[in-house]
Chain A
Amino acid sequence: MTDKLAIEAHGLRKSYGDVDVLRGIDITAEGGSVLALLGPNGAGKTTTVKILTTLIRADAGTACVAGFDVVGQRRAVRRSISLAGQSAALDGPQTGEENLRMIARLAGLDRREARTRATELLDRFDLTEAGGRRVATYSGGMRRRLDLAASLVGRPGVIFLDEPTTGLDPRSRQGLWDVVEDLARSGVTVLLTTQYLEEADRLADRIAVIDGGRIVAEGTAAMLKRRVADQRLELVFADPASFAAASDLLGRRVLRSEPARHLIAVATDGRACSVRAVLDEVDPEATRIDRFEVHGATLDDVFLTLTGAGPAGPGSSSIEPKEVLHA
Chain B
Amino acid sequence: MPDSGQLSRRRSVVGDGLVMSIRCTRLSSRNVEALITSLMLPVALMLMFVYLFGGAIDTGTKYVMYVVPGVILLCAGFGSATTAVTVSQDMTGGIVDRLRSLDVGGTAVLAGHVAASLARNAASTGLVVGVALLIGFHPTAGPLDWLGVIGVLALFVAAISALAAAVGLLAGSPEAANGFAFFIMFLPYASSAFVPVSTMPSWLQGFARHQPVTPVIETLRSLLVGGPAGSNPWQATAWCLAILVGSLGLAGVAFARRTAQSLSS
CB under 8 Å from chain A, chain B span 86-114: 93-95, 97-104
Which of B5, B10, B95, B98 is in CB contact (< 8 Å) with A110?
A: B10
> Is A53 an interface residue when CB atoms closer than 8 A count as contact?
yes
Interface footprint category on A: 35 or more
Chain A residues in 8 Å Cβ range of B6: 79-80
> Is A96 an interface residue when CB atoms closer than 8 A count as contact?
no
A-B contact count (CB 8 A): 110
Chain B residues in 8 Å Cβ range of A78: 101-103
Chain A residues in 8 Å Cβ range of B30: 93-94, 134
* A156 & B5 in contact (Cβ 8 Å cutoff): yes
Chain B residues in 8 Å Cβ range of A43: 265
Chain B residues in 8 Å Cβ range of A46: 264-265
* B98 & A83 in contact (Cβ 8 Å cutoff): yes
* B98 & A21 in contact (Cβ 8 Å cutoff): no
A44 to B95, CA, bound (A): 21
Chain A residues in 8 Å Cβ range of B15: 105
* B19 & A105 in contact (Cβ 8 Å cutoff): yes
* B27 & A102 in contact (Cβ 8 Å cutoff): no
> Which of B49-57, B203-211, B255-263 lies at the interface?
B255-263
Interface string of A153-173 (1 = CB under 8 A from B): 011110000000000000000
Interface string of A232-272 (1 = CB under 8 A from B): 00000000000000000000000000000000000000000
- Shortest A133–chain B CB gap in Å is 12
A150 to B103, CA, bound (A): 15
> Is B1 an interface residue when CB atoms closer than 8 A count as contact?
yes
* A98 & B26 in contact (Cβ 8 Å cutoff): yes
A88 to B260, CA, bound (A): 19
A44 to B265, CA, bound (A): 5
A16 to B263, CA, bound (A): 8
Interface string of A76-111 (1 = CB under 8 A from B): 001111110111111101100010001101111110
Q: Which residue of A lies closest to B8 (CB)?
A: A108
- Shortest B98–chain A CB gap in Å is 4
Which of A16, A56, A66 is in CB contact (< 8 Å) with B260?
A: A56
- Shortest A325–chain B CB gap in Å is 40
* A102 & B5 in contact (Cβ 8 Å cutoff): no
> Is B3 an interface residue when CB atoms closer than 8 A count as contact?
yes
Which of B1, B16, B27, B100 is in CB contact (< 8 Å) with A157?
A: B1
Which of A45, A56, A93, A103 is in CB contact (< 8 Å) with B98?
A: A103
Given contacts A55-B262, A108-B7, contact A150 B98 (CB under 8 A): yes
* A108 & B19 in contact (Cβ 8 Å cutoff): no
A155 to B5, CA, bound (A): 5
Given contacts A75-B103, A78-B102, contact A108 B11 (CB under 8 A): yes
A39 to B93, CA, bound (A): 24
> Is A115 an interface residue when CB atoms closer than 8 A count as contact?
no
- Shortest B214–chain A CB gap in Å is 37
Chain A residues in 8 Å Cβ range of B259: 55
Given contacts A1-B1, A93-B27, A94-B27, contact A56 B102 (CB under 8 A): no
Which of B22, B101, B262 is in CB contact (< 8 Å) with A81?
A: B101
* A83 & B101 in contact (Cβ 8 Å cutoff): yes
Chain B interface, number of residues (Cβ within 8 angstroms): 37
Which of A1, A44, A88 is in CB contact (< 8 Å) with B94?
A: A88
* A87 & B11 in contact (Cβ 8 Å cutoff): no
* A53 & B101 in contact (Cβ 8 Å cutoff): yes
A78 to B11, CA, bound (A): 14
> Is A23 an interface residue when CB atoms closer than 8 A count as contact?
no
Chain A residues in 8 Å Cβ range of B102: 78, 103, 106-107, 154
- Shortest A172–chain B CB gap in Å is 18
Q: Which residue of B lies closest to A113 (CB)?
A: B7
* B94 & A89 in contact (Cβ 8 Å cutoff): yes
CB under 8 Å from chain A, chain B span 9-65: 9-11, 15-16, 19, 22-23, 26-27, 30-31
Chain A residues in 8 Å Cβ range of B261: 56
A87 to B10, CA, bound (A): 27
A247 to B97, CA, bound (A): 49
A41 to B104, CA, bound (A): 30
Can you name 20 A-B residue pairings with CB atoms under 8 Å?
Answer: A1-B4, A47-B265, A79-B5, A82-B101, A83-B97, A88-B95, A89-B93, A89-B97, A91-B23, A91-B95, A93-B26, A93-B27, A93-B30, A106-B11, A106-B102, A154-B5, A155-B4, A155-B7, A157-B1, A188-B4
Binding site for B on A (CB under 8 A): 1, 16, 21, 41-47, 50, 53-57, 66, 75, 78-83, 85-91, 93-94, 98, 102-103, 105-110, 134, 150, 154-157, 187-188
Nearest first, the 7 closest Cβ-Cβ pairs linking A and B are A88-B94, A157-B4, A89-B98, A89-B94, A93-B30, A108-B9, A105-B19
Given contact pairs A1-B4, A66-B1, A157-B4, a sample of 16 additional A-B residue pairs in the complex whose CB atoms are under 8 Å apart: A41-B265, A46-B264, A55-B100, A55-B259, A56-B261, A75-B103, A79-B5, A80-B1, A80-B4, A86-B94, A93-B31, A108-B7, A108-B10, A110-B10, A155-B3, A188-B4
